[in-house]
Amino acid sequence: MKKRILITQIATLLLLVAARPESWPLFWTGLAVMALGQLVRLAASAAIVKSRTLTTTGPYAAVRNPLYLGTMIMTAGLAVMLSSPSRPLLTAGIWAFAVAVFGWVYYVTIKAEEAFLLSVYGKDFEAYKESAPAILPCPRGLAGFFDTAAYSREVFRKNKEWRGMTAAALLALLVAARIKYGF
């Protein structure tokens, strides 16, 4: 999906505007969840060589879309941060909106990418698809996360994951400010 980043940015902005975060314990819990998602994205960014090869090592041994898995974990962390114990209906709406928008965007994106990968890599992609699930990691592939040979500093730099880290940090600071100052 060509507009996925724009759509998810707009959705995130709408979540931020609609939410009324109020809980420091939920903020810290959400921040920890976001950090876990960011770690998954960092690992995936250091392993994937985009448009040159079918990456099946590192986190890609456990799941075909670790970048999207990391983003979904980060989104869950943001939803935790934005939750309001005193406003359960608003919180339910925040979660429902996040699941609907991000679920749809990544479902469409994954389907399009799989069609592309099948057209380029054929039977190799079919075999990979059989060995690794799309989003939820398989336990037998988790060792791939610890395979240091799968990672490259150069690949990591080229994939510019610092942009996502910066956005996540700014989101966390904004939510913290909203809790502290009540806006």
For the segment 6-24, the average pLDDT, to the nearest whole number, is 96
Report CA torsion sign: 165, 166, 170, 171: negative
Confidence of residue 22 (pLDDT cuts 50, 70, 90): very high
Of 135, 151, 126, 170, the C-alpha closest to 9 is 170
DSSP letter (8 states) at residue 134: S
User: Would the pLDDT of 17 be above 80?
Assistant: yes
Contact at 8 Å (CB) between 91 and 37?
no
Please give the structure tokens belonging to residue 130.
């059989």
Q: Which amino acid is at 137?
A: P
**pTM of the model as a whole:** 0.92
Report CA torsion sign: 133, 103, 11, 13: negative
| pLDDT the model gives residue 62 | 94
Query: Residue 61, Cα to own-chain centre: how many angstroms?
Result: 17
Question: Average model confidence (pLDDT) for the chain?
Answer: 94
Give CA separation, 174 vs 36, 64, 85, 105, 169, in Å: 19, 32, 19, 24, 9
Of 4, 157, 23, the C-alpha closest to 90 is 23
Which domains are seen in the chain, by residue range? 4-181 (1.20.120)
Alpha-helix runs per DSSP H in the chain: 4-18, 24-47, 66-82, 88-121, 123-131, 153-158, 162-181
User: Would the pLDDT of 114 be above 70?
Assistant: yes
Residue listed under structure tokens 């456990």? 62
For the segment 123-148, the average pLDDT, to the nearest whole number, is 91
Q: Rounded to whole angstroms, how far apart are CA atoms 71 and 36? A: 10
